[in-house]
Amino acid sequence: MTDTKNYCGYVAIVGRPNVGKSTLLNHLLGFKLSITSRKPQTTRHNVLGILTEDDCQIIFVDTPGLHSGQTKALNRYMNRAAGQAIADVDVVVFVVDQDKWTEADAAVVERLAQVDVPVIVAVNKVDRVDEKDALLPQLKLIAELLPKADIVPVSALYGKNLDVLRTTIRGYIPEGFYFFPDDQITDKSERFLAAEIVREKITRQLGAEVPYEVTVEIEEWRREEKILHISALILVERDGQKKIIIGEKGARLKKIGQQARVDMEKLFDSKIMLKLWVKVRAGWSDDERALKSLGYHDN
């Protein structure tokens, strides 16, 4: 009787802000773990998504978008989080747009030059390309900048070519014992996931109306018979932001709560009683101590 070999490894999903990293992670996993919106820098933390199939466990790390030119403590934290992920994985999936190359993309390439792990470039949003030849300039540029990288065109949103991407990733996963139980899907707590769901609904509702100075803190988490009671505090930096989130006669805050509750009931498989309120805490996004108290910890 021979022992079955197991394979296990970490895969960082990196790229500039708003290129589709979280959408890609969710579709690779087959369920929604990371929050998404059209607003750049929606992801703020490294979020582990654990996929265990057959003899292989792949631990995906969804990272904040690497960016420059912003100096707040929150932005520094996000860059550190993404940088740490790149340094500590077995494989890097670098997500880029099919028709756009920016200074931020070039900055990611510079980061990747400092690590010695396999790189797979996922050229995203190919569903927007009518003719395959339109991809050639981007593919040529990537091949010149990262000559050792595998290049896989995909559509994260529509799941196109993700089987090829999974197979390519699987080929680089080293032999080893599983780090997590077979049925574990993330390293994050239910409280963290609930806070992220609320923040996603705020971001999707408001877009550019409220900038990045919004975070969510879970203050109550209590099960009572078949109902999960959750109280969430939405922190902003200015009175004007508070008014925007609450909306006229509380209408916008109510809608945020309704949408968040639907997602929470699916995720936690429970009836949810959700209470939201908004509080002004000036300067929290540029205060290292405040960030740590709100859960923005370096690993």
Domain-by-domain residue ranges, the chain? 7-170, 190-293
Question: Looking at residue 210, what DSSP letter applies?
Answer: S
Strand 227-236 relative to strand 215-224, pairing = antiparallel
Q: How is 229-267 classified by DSSP, letter by letter?
A: EEEEEEEESSHHHHHHHH-GGGHHHHHHHHHHHHHHHHH
Residue pair 198/232 in contact (Cβ under 8 Å)? The answer is: yes
Question: How much is the pLDDT for 203?
Answer: 83
What integer best gives the mean pLDDT of the chain?
82
Residue pair 5/53 in contact (Cβ under 8 Å)? The answer is: no
Quick one: 190-293 is in which CATH superfamily?
A: K homology (KH) domain (3.30.300.20)
Q: What is the CATH number of domain 7-170?
A: 3.40.50.300
Tens digit of each residue's pLDDT (9 = 90 or more) over 39-58: 444 444 567 889 999 899 99
Provide CB contacts within 8 A for 96, sequence distance 6+.
15, 19, 105, 121, 122, 123, 124, 138, 142
- 53-68 average pLDDT score: 78
Phi, psi of 176, rounded to the nearest 5 degrees: 170, 170
Question: How much is the pLDDT for 237?
Answer: 84
Tokens of 201: 């609904």
Beta bridge partners of 25: none
Tens digit of each residue's pLDDT (9 = 90 or more) over 85-114: 676 789 999 999 988 888 888 888 888 888
Domains 7-170 and 190-293 equal at CATH topology level:
no
Helix H or strand E segment including 54: none
pLDDT exceeds 70 at position 67: no
What is the pTM (predicted TM-score) of this model?
A: 0.75
Tens digit of each residue's pLDDT (9 = 90 or more) over 71-86: 555 455 455 555 566 7
Tens digit of each residue's pLDDT (9 = 90 or more) over 146-197: 999 999 999 988 889 999 999 999 999 999 999 999 989 888 888 888 998 9
